[in-house]
Amino acid sequence: MTGLETEEILSAIVFYLLSGVVVGSSILVITLRNIFRSALFLLLAFFATAGLFITLDAEFIAAVQVLIYVGAIGVLILFAIMLTRRIQDPVAKSTTRSFILGAFVSAAFLFFLILILGKIYLPPFPETGADTEGITKGIGRMLLTYYLLPFEVVSVLLVGALIGAVVIARKEEARGGEPPEVALERERKDREITDSKPDGNGLEQNDRKH
Amino acid sequence: MASDYIVVCVMFFIALGFVGVALFVAKLVRPRRPTNVKLTTYECGEKPWGGAWVQYNVRFYLVALAFVVFDVEAAFLFPWAVVFKKLGLFGFIEMAVFIFVILFGLVYVWRKGALKWV
Amino acid sequence: MIAGWINSCYESIRNWWVACGIPLVWLDIIRAILLGIVLAIIVVVAVLILTYVERKVAGHFQSRMGPMRVGWHGLLQPIADAIKLIQKEDIVPEKADYWVFTLAPFVVFVPVMMVLVVIPFGDHLIVQDLNIGILYIFAVSGIGVVAILMGGWASNNKWSLLGAMRSVSQMVSYELPLILSVLGVVILAGTMSMGGIVEAQRKMWFIVYQPLGFIIYLFAATAEVNRVPFDLPEAEQEIVAGYNTEYSGMKFAMFYLAEYANMFIVSMIGATLFLGGWQGPLLPSPVWFLIKTGAMVFILLWFRWTFPRFRVDQLMDFGWKVLLPFAFINLLVTALVVII
């Protein structure tokens, strides 16, 4: 067996292992009842995807995948779980009510995706001039020359996301979790009411009078 | 090159294996005498009151969101920084525009008080 | 010198391997496994030494002697501590999520080992000089954040979860200035590979060109490893022990190990990026690297006995409203200077 063959076999094994992890953990993400665990499996799927990028020699993309999806989006998702009210019982029933509708929508989406992917015209990628330094330099050069406009638009998009998030969070705060000033105010009022109640805790009332 | 990452992959499993061995060795040595009191949640010696899995403050989420945005931006800055010397003034202006747009977002969030941690 | 000897040994084994006709991949894998085991042992030993040094340094800062009982001047104290930790009972609270609780110590150790791959310990003493070196470090160390959240959530303890959330939001907030301060170095070096960055400092250390960047790095790195004055996640007066309140025995030891190893790692990265890495006259390169790393670690220890702890709102303000804008300014100024 020559070296080249072994490497090919090995990389095939690695590919199928990684894909298996991605597919398996993705299935677990949607089937597990425990929302925190399913979020963790989502992160595992992200991580394995980074491994797939590595097998494609796209090390920069892989690093960004881990940096952003595992390190940032992962934290965001886990924090979002802490924000929900019903993690008290983590085995909340996942409703299968809209299962058929969901299946239909996903199937339609897949169908159109295949349709579009066949038709779409992708402009041929210009020569990146990737040297021994790997693809990072190529990406940098392309971003700032050929793909300049999309690149600048990305920054606007990011700011849009940030502002949108703040606006929505403020609204949430106003509706559900009240902002701290309001909470303090309410607490103060509550205390006044209990204080003025005649059948309140006698001991406490005496304490307050001093 | 993908072959550079063989050692990274191996290191991943070495880390898992190291912890596994350590936990296993400790398992052989350590005592195991659980009692009900030992197994309760620690709450300063009081009887635990409710669980910990309750709703937490939205501000944690806002920090995470701002982090995602700036992290994506940082990811774009890396390839720029690597080739910056070759790009010269043009590259600087392009990135300055990019950074100032993001900074505008930061200032907005700041002014709106989303960064305030009361 | 030693590195050269090891490398020549490796070369001869490699030649023999090729002559035998076995694919080189297997040699790579065996080499990686051996290096990994060696590094894991080094991590444990280094952390044991660090715990001793920290207590001694703390002692002398406060006009005490520090540990004195076990061995000469308490030198065997870390070993005694390790033996004690191994013997401790491992308690998993009844209400905890057992699997996630057990898995968290595994995950917390992954970034520690993975980061060590790209650290240049000396001349040619680097496991694998990846092209994306420093970006790889940031990416991988992000996994540690997930481990902390896993531990905190699985404990089902209010202190643990609150500590974990505080810890994570702090680490996340300070990661941005950290990345931006490092980007200045990347601009100057024109590469992300750690070996390349050391090479670029042959004439002058980057701390000379990046004084502000170094200060930002120092603060942000201190916050990343949850050290004083940024140790709110473990503020014992408020939230007991933070995310590892419920951990005991070996699982706790793993969190502890990772925490101290991370202290070493940020010091090593700082030494590599700003202090010229392993370069220096006369002494062999690993010794220089050790001296510089030791200096960085000492600064971290010094901080602990100098600064009082931040309040949580001060902490967030400092990260987002002071360090982050300054890091942006530093980056833009660096870029400007480079093109002029």
* Alpha-carbon dihedral C46, C50, C56, C62, rounded to 10 degrees: 170
**CA C68 to each of CA A95, B55, C55, C73: distance values in angstroms, whole numbers, following the listed order:** 63, 47, 10, 5
Kindly state the tokens that stand for C82: 């390790």
* Alpha-carbon dihedral C7, C9, C14, C19, rounded to 10 degrees: 150
Q: What is the pLDDT of residues A4-17, one digit of tens each?
A: 677 788 888 889 99
Q: What is the pLDDT of residues C272-310, one digit of tens each?
A: 999 888 888 888 888 889 999 999 999 888 888 888 778
By the CB < 8 Å criterion, does A63 face chain C?
Answer: yes
Q: What is the pLDDT of residues A61-92, one digit of tens each?
A: 889 999 999 888 988 888 888 877 655 555 55
Based on its alpha-carbon atoms, the radius of gyration of chain A, rounded to whole angstroms, reads 27
By the CB < 8 Å criterion, does A91 face chain C?
Answer: no
- A173: helix, coil or strand? helix
Q: Where do the structural domains in chain A lie, given as residue ranges?
A: 1-90, 131-197
Nearest to B62 among A51, A156, A166 (CB): A166
Q: Is residue C265 a contact partner of residue C247, using CB atoms and an 8 Å limit?
A: no
Q: How far is CA A130 from the centre of its chain?
A: 31
Q: Is residue C330 a contact partner of residue C212, using CB atoms and an 8 Å limit?
A: yes
Of the listed ranges A119-128, C166-175, C291-300, the least confidently predicted one is A119-128
What whole-number distance in Å separates Cα of residue B106 and Cα of residue C156?
34
Total Cβ atoms within 10 A of residue B60? 22
pLDDT greater than 90 at residue B49? no
- C209: helix, coil or strand? helix
Kindly state the tokens that stand for A122: 């992708």
Q: Where do the structural domains in chain B lie, given as residue ranges?
A: 2-112
What whole-number distance in Å separates Cα of residue C17 and Cα of residue C20?
5
- C268: helix, coil or strand? helix
Kindly state the tokens that stand for C303: 């901080």
* Interface contact C172-A72, CB threshold 8 A: yes
Question: Nearest to residue A151, comparing CAs of C150, B76, C235, B17?
Answer: B76
Question: Nearest to residue C195, comparing CAs of C274, C126, C298, C94?
Answer: C126
Based on its alpha-carbon atoms, the radius of gyration of chain C, rounded to whole angstroms, reads 21
CATH number of B2-112: 1.20.58.1610
- What is the average pLDDT across C47-64? 87
Where does chain A show beta strands of DSSP type E? none
Which residues lie below 8 Å from residue A23, measured CB to CB, with a gap of 6+?
Answer: none
**In angstroms, what separates the C-alpha of C109 from chain B's closest C-alpha?**
6
* Interface contact C131-A79, CB threshold 8 A: no
Task: Say what percent of chain A tops pLDDT 90.
Answer: 14
What whole-number distance in Å separates Cα of residue A61 and Cα of residue A97?
38
By the CB < 8 Å criterion, does A178 face chain B?
Answer: no
Q: What is the pLDDT of residue C235?
A: 63
Q: By CB neighbour count within 10 A (0-12 exposed, 13-18 middle, 19+ buried), where does B32 fall?
A: exposed
DSSP state letter for C322: I
- C125: helix, coil or strand? strand
Kindly state the tokens that stand for A23: 């597919």
* Interface contact A143-B80, CB threshold 8 A: yes
**In angstroms, what separates the C-alpha of C104 from chain A's closest C-alpha?**
11
By the CB < 8 Å criterion, does A141 face chain C?
Answer: no
- Range of A132-136, A171-175, B75-79, C212-216 with top mean pLDDT: C212-216
CATH architecture of the domain A1-90 equals Up-down Bundle (1.20)
By the CB < 8 Å criterion, does B104 face chain C?
Answer: no
Task: Please name the amino acid found at residue C326.
Answer: F
Report chain C residues whose CB lies below 8 A from the CB of B96: 332, 335
Q: What is the pLDDT of residue A44?
A: 92
Q: What is the pLDDT of residue A198?
A: 44
Kindly state the tokens that stand for C220: 């942000």
- What is the average pLDDT across A145-173? 81
Please, what is the Cα angle at C144 between C141 and C146, to 5 degrees?
A: 125
What whole-number distance in Å separates Cα of residue C222 and Cα of residue C234?
14
DSSP state letter for B57: P
- C63: helix, coil or strand? coil
DSSP state letter for C249: H
Question: Nearest to residue C335, comparing CAs of A21, B83, A191?
Answer: B83
Task: Say what percent of chain C tops pLDDT 70.
Answer: 96
Tell me the CB-side half-sphere exposure of residue A117, using CA atoms within 13 A.
6
Nearest to A159 among B9, B84, B101 (CB): B101
Nearest to C139 among A36, A40, A71 (CB): A71
Q: What is the pLDDT of residue B17?
A: 92
- A-B C-beta contacts closer than 8 Å: 146
Nearest to A63 among C26, C132, C145 (CB): C132
Give the global pTM: 0.85
What whole-number distance in Å separates Cα of residue C262 and Cα of residue C222?
10
Q: Which residue of B has its CA nearest to A53?
A: B2
* Alpha-carbon dihedral A166, A172, A174, A175, rounded to 10 degrees: 170
- What is the average pLDDT across A13-38? 88
Question: Nearest to residue C245, comparing CAs of C145, C147, C164?
Answer: C164
* Interface contact C187-B52, CB threshold 8 A: no
Which residues lie below 8 Å from residue C112, measured CB to CB, with a gap of 6+?
Answer: B15, C43, C144, C257, C258, C261, C262, C265
Q: What is the pLDDT of residues C219-240, one digit of tens each?
A: 999 988 877 777 766 666 666 6
**In angstroms, what separates the C-alpha of B97 from chain A's closest C-alpha?**
8
Q: Which residue of B has its CA nearest to C172?
A: B67
Report chain C residues whose CB lies below 8 A from the CB of B92: 335-336, 339
* Interface contact A60-B65, CB threshold 8 A: no
Q: What is the pLDDT of residue C232?
A: 67
* Interface contact C132-A59, CB threshold 8 A: yes
Based on its alpha-carbon atoms, the radius of gyration of chain B, rounded to whole angstroms, reads 25
Which residues lie below 8 Å from residue A173, measured CB to CB, with a gap of 6+?
Answer: A179, B58
By the CB < 8 Å criterion, does B72 face chain A?
Answer: yes
Question: Nearest to residue C250, comparing CAs of B115, B106, B18?
Answer: B18
Which among B6, B10, B24, B102 is the top mutation candidate for probing chain C, defined by the most C β-carbons within 10 Å of its own β-carbon? B10
- What is the average pLDDT across C50-60? 88
Report chain B residues whose CB lies below 8 A from the CB of A162: 65-66, 69, 105, 108-109
Q: Please report which confidence band the pLDDT of residue C2 belongs to, taking 50, 70 and 90 as the band edges.
A: low
Q: Please report which confidence band the pLDDT of residue A165 belongs to, taking 50, 70 and 90 as the band edges.
A: confident
Mean pLDDT, rounded, of chain C: 85
By the CB < 8 Å criterion, does A14 face chain C?
Answer: no
Query: Which of B54 and C141 is assigned the larger pLDDT?
Result: C141
Contacting subunits of C (3+ beta carbon pairs below 8 A) = A, B
Q: By CB neighbour count within 10 A (0-12 exposed, 13-18 middle, 19+ buried), where does B19 fall?
A: buried
By the CB < 8 Å criterion, does A6 face chain B?
Answer: no
**In angstroms, what separates the C-alpha of B52 from chain C's closest C-alpha?**
5
Task: Say what percent of chain A tops pLDDT 70.
Answer: 67
